C-alpha cells in the first residue's frame, strides 16, 4: 500500500496502550488517526495520551470511516469477531488482540471472511511466552536433538486459590467465551514447535462456583474452570500433559518439558532460559542462545510490513487462531461429556 497507512483503534486496553499504539506511532508512514473505547471519557483519555486526532462514539463509526485503512482491535474477545467481520467488509486490514475469538465457531467465521478478502491483511497478536527460544527449539527438533518425540509436559500454575476475589472478565463467558486461563496461548506456543494435536481428553474443576461481579453489582455463577488437566495426542504418537491452575500455590512453573527417545529439553518461561540433555548425560545443562536467535516483539512491524507487501504474516495467522480455538473448545467438550475429542473439530 503506497503512502501513509492510517490506523483506527477499537479498544484501548492494556496491551494496546503498552504496545500497539506506541509501536505503530514509531513506524514511518503510519498514523494512528482514530480511537474508540468503552466510553466517551475513556476514548478521550486515550486520544489525549497518544495525541490521536479523532474519537468515535461507537466502533461501527470507526470501521465505516473511509479515512481509515487498518483497524487494531484491542477489546476483550466478545467483540473480536463482529469488529473483524465489519472491518473486512469495509475494506480494512485487521490486527486483532488474542485470543482470536470467543469460540471456534466465531474463529471460523473470521477465517472465512479473511479468505473472502485476500487483498486484506489479517493477523492475531501472537503468544509471546516462547519468543526467546522458538527458533532454537525448532532447530534442535529438526536436527534430531530429541530423537523421536515421546511426551510433553507443560505446567502453568503457582497461584493460591482466592475465594474472595471478585469476578474478572476472564471468568465471564459473556466477555471471554470459552477461553480459559492461559490454555490457548500456551497451546499456540506448542504448535510452533510440534504442530497441532490430533485429539484431546480433559478434566476441569471450578473451585469457586459463584463470585461477585462488580460490573453488575451481583453474585454470578462461574463457568470458566480454575483448574484444567489436559492429555493431548499428537499425530506422531507423542502425548502432551497440560496442567493449568489458579489453585496450585507454589507449584513450579510456567515450564515446558519435551521428552524424546534420545534427549530432553526444558524451557523455563520466567527466566527465558532453555536447558537440555542427551542420552548418557547426568543432568540438564543450559543451552546458550545467541541474541540473533532470540525473537523479539515485532507484531506491529509485521502487520505494517504485510500491508505494504513486504512479507506475509507469520505470527499469528487466522488459521492458527482457528486451531487453538478448536483446541480450547475441545477441552470444554471433553470435560463436559467425559470423552476424547478428535481434532480438528467438525464445523
**Is residue 347, in this structure, part of any structural domain at all?**
no
pLDDT digits (tens, 9 = 90+) for 155-177: 998 889 999 999 999 999 999 99
Q: For residue range 237-290, what is the model confidence (pLDDT) as tens digits?
A: 999 999 999 999 998 889 999 999 999 999 999 999 999 999 999 999 999 999
Task: Put the strands of the sheet holding 5-10 in their side by side order.
Answer: 54-55, 30-36, 5-10, 70-73, 93-96, 122-124
**Domain co-membership, 78 together with 212:** no
With H, G, I as helix, E, B as strand and everything else as coil, classify residue 155: strand
Do 92 and 22 fall into the same domain?
A: yes
The confidence score (pLDDT) of residue 1 equals 56
The whole-number average pLDDT for the span 181-186 is 97
Residues 69 and 172 in one domain: no
> Cα 87 to chain center, whole Å?
20
Rounded CA-CA distance 279/158 in Å is: 31
Per-residue pLDDT reduced to its tens digit, 320-335? 999 999 999 999 999 9
How many domains does the structure of the chain reveal?
2
Indicate whether 10 pLDDT > 80.
yes
Looking at the chain, how many residues does it have?
Answer: 347
pLDDT at 141 over 70: yes
Q: CATH number for the domain including 190?
A: 3.30.360.10
Is residue 204 situated within a structural domain?
yes
Q: 163 and 285, same structural domain?
A: yes
User: Residue 222: what are its φ and ψ, rounded to 5°?
Assistant: -90, 130
Q: Name the 3-class secondary structure at 307.
A: helix
Domain that holds residue 201: 134-294+325-342
Is the same domain home to 260 and 290? yes
User: What share of the chain has pLDDT > 70, as a percent?
Assistant: 99
- What are the angstrom distances between the C-alpha of 236 and each of 121, 304, 313? 33, 37, 27
Regarding whether 311 and 201 lie in a shared domain, the answer is no
Q: What is the CATH number of the domain that holds 66?
A: 3.40.50.720
pLDDT at 108: 99
Residue 104 lies in a domain: yes
| 0.85 surpassed by pTM | yes
Give Cβ neighbours of residue 195 (< 8 Å, ≥ 6 apart): 234, 235
Same domain, 149 and 280: yes
Query: Is 234 in the same domain as 333?
Result: yes
Amino acid at each position: 500500500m503506497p503512502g501513509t497507512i492510517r490506523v483506527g483503534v477499537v479498544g484501548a486496553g492494556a496491551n494496546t496502550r503498552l504496545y500497539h499504539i506506541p509501536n505503530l506511532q514509531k513506524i514511518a508512514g503510519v498514523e494512528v488517526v482514530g480511537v474508540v473505547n468503552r466510553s466517551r471519557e475513556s476514548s478521550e483519555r486515550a486520544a489525549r495520551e497518544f495525541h490521536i486526532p479523532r474519537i468515535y462514539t461507537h466502533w461501527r463509526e470507526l470501521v465505516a470511516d473511509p479515512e481509515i485503512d487498518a483497524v487494531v482491535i484491542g477489546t476483550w474477545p466478545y467483540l473480536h469477531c463482529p469488529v473483524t467481520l465489519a472491518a473486512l467488509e469495509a475494506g480494512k486490514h485487521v490486527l486483532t488482540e488474542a485470543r482470536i475469538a470467543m469460540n471456534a465457531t466465531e474463529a471460523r467465521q473470521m477465517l472465512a471472511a479473511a479468505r473472502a478478502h485476500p487483498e486484506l491483511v489479517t493477523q492475531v497478536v501472537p503468544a509471546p511466552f516462547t519468543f526467546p527460544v522458538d527458533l532454537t527449539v525448532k532447530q534442535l527438533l529438526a536436527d534430531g536433538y530429541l530423537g523421536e518425540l515421546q511426551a510433553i509436559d507443560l505446567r502453568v500454575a503457582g497461584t493460591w486459590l482466592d475465594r474472595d476475589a471478585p469476578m474478572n472478565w476472564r471468568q465471564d463467558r459473556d466477555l471471554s467465551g470459552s477461553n480459559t486461563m492461559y490454555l490457548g496461548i500456551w497451546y499456540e506456543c506448542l504448535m510452533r514447535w510440534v504442530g497441532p494435536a490430533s485429539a484431546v481428553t480433559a478434566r476441569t474443576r471450578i473451585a469457586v462456583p459463584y463470585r461477585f461481579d462488580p460490573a453488575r453489582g451481583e453474585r454470578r455463577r462461574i463457568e470458566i474452570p480454575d483448574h484444567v488437566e489436559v492429555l493431548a495426542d499428537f499425530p506422531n504418537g507423542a502425548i502432551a500433559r497440560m496442567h493449568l491452575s489458579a489453585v496450585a500455590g507454589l507449584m513450579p512453573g510456567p515450564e515446558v518439558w519435551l521428552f524424546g527417545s534420545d534427549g530432553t529439553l526444558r524451557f523455563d518461561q520466567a527466566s527465558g532460559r532453555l536447558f537440555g540433555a542427551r542420552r548418557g548425560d547426568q543432568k540438564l545443562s543450559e543451552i546458550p542462545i545467541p541474541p540473533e536467535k532470540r525473537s523479539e516483539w515485532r507484531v506491529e512491524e509485521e502487520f505494517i510490513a504485510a500491508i505494504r507487501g513486504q512479507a506475509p504474516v507469520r505470527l499469528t495467522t487466522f488459521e492458527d487462531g482457528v486451531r487453538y480455538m478448536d483446541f480450547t473448545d475441545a477441552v470444554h467438550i471433553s470435560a463436559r461429556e467425559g470423552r476424547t475429542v478428535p481434532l480438528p473439530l467438525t464445523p
